[in-house]
């Protein structure tokens, strides 16, 4: 009788460990998929930021009024601040420098702000009748 109770308890513990291992494995798999998704998003934002920066740099100053030029410069400056960590990450990756987990998290957390600042400039460029076409 005691042996049967011990076997059931042992079986229950083993089953819980297996289920926990399975759930942890699924969670790790989900985390890996999420990291790939974040990396793709970060790369897309980085490319868009570079495109917008080039577009603003190539824009003749005389094409805009002083007020609109100043608005565009302020928005571009804000974008550079918001995208600073993403740009630093790209530089470190190109240089094959060490990128620690804390820095990766900081970059990941900053991507949406960078993206929002890009959209601000895109909106401003559209309002001014300037497109990348």
Examine residue 112 and state whether it is found in any structural domain, yes or no: yes
Establish if 15 belongs to a structural domain. Answer: no
Total of domains in the chain? 1
Residue 69 falls within a domain, yes or no? Answer: yes
Q: Is residue 28 part of a domain?
A: no
What local confidence, expressed as pLDDT, does residue 13 receive?
Answer: 46
Alpha helices in 59-128 (DSSP H): 66-82, 84-94, 101-127
Q: Is 90 part of a structural domain of the chain?
A: yes
| Within a domain: 26 | no
Evaluate whether residue 17 is within a structural domain. Answer: no
User: Quick one: pLDDT band at residue 8, thresholds 50, 70, 90?
Assistant: low
CA 7 vs. chain centroid, Å, equals 50
Please, are residues 125 and 69 in contact by the beta-carbon 8 Å criterion?
no
Query: 75 with 121: CB under 8 angstroms?
Result: yes
More confident residue, 108 or 16: 108
Q: Which residue has the tokens 């960590």?
A: 85
CA distances from 128 to 20, 65, 69, 115 (A): 57, 10, 10, 20
The half-sphere exposure of 68 on its side-chain side, counting CA atoms within 13 A, is: 16
What mean pLDDT is predicted for residues 110-125?
A: 94
Within a domain: 20: no
- The predicted-structure confidence for 31-71, as pLDDT tens digits, reads as follows 444 556 778 889 999 999 999 999 888 888 778 888 998 99
């Amino acid at each position: 009788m005691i042996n049967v109770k011990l076997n059931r308890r042992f079986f229950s513990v083993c089953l819980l460990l297996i289920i926990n291992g399975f759930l942890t494995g699924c969670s790790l798999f989900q985390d890996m998929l999420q990291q790939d998704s974040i990396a793709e998003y970060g790369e897309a934002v980085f490319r868009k930021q570079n495109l917008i920066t080039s577009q603003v740099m190539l824009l003749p100053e005389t094409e805009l009024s002083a007020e609109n030029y100043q608005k565009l410069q302020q928005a571009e400056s804000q974008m550079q601040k918001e995208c600073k960590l993403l740009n630093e990450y790209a530089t470190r990756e190109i240089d094959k420098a060490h990128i620690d987990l804390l820095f990766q998290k900081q970059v990941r957390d900053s991507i949406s702000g960078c993206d929002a600042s890009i959209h601000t400039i895109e909106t401003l460029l559209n309002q001014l009748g300037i497109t990348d076409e």
